[in-house]
Chains A and B, each alone.
Chain A
Amino acid sequence: MQLQISHTTHYRYDKPVDYALQRVHLRPMTMDIQEVGSWNLEIEGGRIEASYRDHYGNHSDLISTDPGVQTLAITATGSVTTRDTSGVVGKVYGRAPLWHFLQSTPLTVAGPKIRALSKIIMQSDDQLSGLHALSAAILEATPYKLGETDTNSTAEDVVGIGSGVCQDHAHVFTAAARAAGIPARYVSGYLMINDQIDQDASHAWAEVHLDELGWVGFDVSNGVAPDDKYVRLAVGRDTRDAAPIKGMRLGDSDETMIVSLQVQQ
């Protein structure tokens, strides 16, 4: 399927900003399940300082604001041809060894609630059906709801709060899979929701590594395996590695952020 994407992140600062930086993962990479056609990253109010592949192979850009600006707009546009492989990404490996994806991060430490969820995997006949059961159990325990969690909520917090967004679901899933001894990672990207061009935000899901299949995706929030409506942007151990945008600024100005995202065929 060929997907057209236009994704603008617009920052407005209440005072002129002397210096701010954004690290972005806004360039999907070509791999077996997706081929990037044209792709363009455009910056208004700032410039690209560094472009490189990070330690997971993600395309990364460091963006600085121009001195004294009050707005910064980062726009990614392009087209990606995707393939439906029922969530199987396969045996594609970078330099990061599998043991690295067994390690928890501050956002994905397994507490008692995560460990209880991870038992679901071990109670199943095989890992794959166990992981499907886990995915369903997470959505039941933490139905999709905006505004109850924030970007710093840990997987354990999210289960306690009892609801979450895609980022939280991916954290809970990776944390529980790791607790069961299965390498797991966080994926950020885009999802075309049917009959809808404007999307609220970029998406996040999880992947686990199984001996026979390699990496396999699970979209907990939608209860499905990622298919050809999904475009992968970046991977990592949690959102702090793989988020499309991560930034910091000097000074005391406040910022508001507006995201505009269109994904269509």
Chain B
Amino acid sequence: MMSDDGIRSTYRSYNEWFSEQDNRRLAKKSAQAEALFKRTGITFNVYGQSDAEERLIPFDLVPRIVSNSEWSKLARGIDQRVRAINAFLHDIYNRQEILRAGVLPVKLIAQNDAFLPQMMDFSPPGGVYTHIVGTDIVRTGEDEFYVLEDNARTPSGVSYMLENRETMLQMFPELFSKIRVQNVGNYPKNLRRSLEASAPASCNGRPTVAILTPGIYNSAYYEHSFLADQMGVELVEGHDLRIVDGHVAMRTTQGYRTIDVLYRRVDDEYLDPLTFNPNSTLGVPGIMDVYRAGNITIANAPGTGVADDKAVYSYIPDIIEFYTGEKAILKNVETYRCSEPDALKYTLSNLSELVVKEVHGSGGYGMLVGPAASKRELADFADKLKAQPENYIAQPTLSLSTVPIFTKKGLAPRHVDLRPFALVSPDGVDITPGGLTRVALKAGSLVVNSSQGGGTKDTWVLED
């Protein structure tokens, strides 16, 4: 809701405070924040940029503010989506009712690279597939949200949510006494509790949780070590683990210790060389055997990537209705499946207006943003589309709402998206009030991916 002076009511208190601030002081604070991030070592490795192996994601000190009522709707929508996705994954790997019912075309699963046959005829502990979900959402207007991606596989970025808040609390403590903002700092504690609640039924006593990282060269290594530290659990690599007494166990100074729940940040393909890629040195040979025998929980479950496929995404409203009997609370972006001749024709003749994404892609790689592309880029992309239409989907560019960022010339509007984090366990779905707000730092740009030069800012959900 806008008031007469054009300021969203959620920003009113913040704006009062901001108007009393001296711009030079804020510029200094901004530099301080950057130094703080550098010191904690929070960096992001950008693939395809050899000159800048690790770099900081720029931080903007103006928080993105969401009202409690908008948040409630968002949270209900995410909860519904996450439950439907878990029901969908269980069905796809077991009875496949949704395929029998003809709601989803078989080829969408049969030709899906993320579908793992090794997950068929199996229920993971507690029936949970997506222990951690990071739904990408954009706001286009008052109470109007669209889901861009569900990120059911391995959502990253929660460390930014936590560090951004921590930095804001350190730099502007007075703001938090003036404005009541919901807490996000319990996330590590809640994550640990949620993972423990997902332990296999065979586990006695307090479950042991560990994080499996591919190692220091992984772009998200900082986050892996940060979360292990915050949760108070071990950070392990594949070579620390072996199968002992029917369980996956980690080497410790007192011998091998059983792991009950492994939060793995290693991709499916590399998770078990005895089952998947035999050349992988990042995984744990035999972990899939222990898993199927019911003696470990793998978070997120192998094969959840099926739900992240962008062609499957286009069916999520149907998937929600099929499993919950409810209409989707959050909207999907209208999606043209280029595998369908009419959709392909429409996409080719409206390429300069559309965003085209690879069906299996993620992170903003390999996508075309029509309005920002040159004639040459459009022509090249049209060739790719014609060669492999089933590999692409197209979406209209949304008129994203903007939020203010701090620039040398004062506040300026920029496009943002939002990735809230949901934790799923047999006890239910827990959504942290807040999330990672990514912001396009170039004026007018719609691309917020950190790998494509976006920044982040703190996300505030107001108390009332």
Chain A residues packing against B (C-beta within 8 Å): 19, 21, 23, 49-55, 57, 60, 62, 64, 94-97, 99-100, 103, 237, 246, 248
Contacts and interface: CB of A to CB of B under 8 A. Distances in A.
A3 B242 CA distance: 38
A52 B289 contact: yes
B243 A64 contact: yes
A72 to B, nearest CB: 15
A21 B286 contact: yes
A248 B285 CA distance: 8
Contacts of B289: 23, 49-50, 52, 60, 62
Contacts of B93: 95
B202 to A, nearest CB: 12
Given A21-B285, A246-B274, A95 B120 contact: yes
B106 A96 contact: no
A95 B244 CA distance: 30
A62 B290 contact: yes
A49 B285 contact: no
A96 B120 contact: yes
For the complex of A and B, 9 pairs with smallest distance between CB atoms: A95-B121, A50-B293, A62-B289, A55-B120, A52-B292, A50-B289, A52-B293, A95-B120, A49-B243
A119 to B, nearest CB: 24
Contacts of B274: 21, 23, 246, 248
A151 to B, nearest CB: 12
Contacts of B122: 55
Contacts of A97: 96, 99, 106
Interface in B372-397: none
B213 interface: no
A123 B150 CA distance: 48
Contact residue range for chain B? 20 to 34
Contacts of A248: 273-274, 278, 285
Given A50-B290, A52-B294, 13 more contacts: A49-B243, A49-B246, A49-B289, A50-B292, A53-B121, A54-B118, A55-B118, A55-B122, A62-B243, A62-B286, A64-B243, A64-B244, A248-B273
A170 B397 CA distance: 51
Nearest to B273: A248
A50 B242 CA distance: 13
B94 interface: yes
Contacts of A23: 274, 286, 289
Contacts of B117: 55, 96, 100, 237
Contacts of A55: 117-122
Given A23-B274, A248-B274, A49 B290 contact: yes
Nearest to A241: B117
A60 B290 CA distance: 11
Contacts of B96: 97
Interface in B105-131: 106, 110, 117-122
Interface centre among A23, A62, A246 (most CB of B within 10 A): A62
B95 interface: yes
Interface string B22-48: 000000000000000000000000000
B279 to A, nearest CB: 11
A21 B273 CA distance: 11
A19 B292 contact: no
Interface in B296-330: none
A62 B248 CA distance: 12
Contact of A50 (B118, B119, B295): B295
A53 B95 CA distance: 17
Contact of A99 (B95, B110, B246): B110
Nearest to A54: B292
A6 to B, nearest CB: 25
A62 B245 CA distance: 11
Nearest to B117: A55
Contact of B110 (A49, A54, A103): A103
A97 B91 CA distance: 13
Contacts of A21: 243, 274, 285-286
A46 to B, nearest CB: 11
A85 B289 CA distance: 33
Most buried by A among B117, B273, B294: B117
A19 B120 CA distance: 29
B268 to A, nearest CB: 14
Contacts of A50: 243, 246, 286, 289-290, 292-293, 295
A182 to B, nearest CB: 16
13 contacts: A19-B242, A21-B285, A21-B286, A49-B243, A50-B286, A51-B293, A52-B292, A54-B292, A55-B122, A97-B99, A97-B106, A100-B117, A237-B117
Query: Which of A19, A50, A94 counts the most chain B CB atoms within 10 A?
Result: A50
A57 B121 contact: yes
A99 B290 contact: no
B286 A49 contact: yes
Nearest to A103: B110
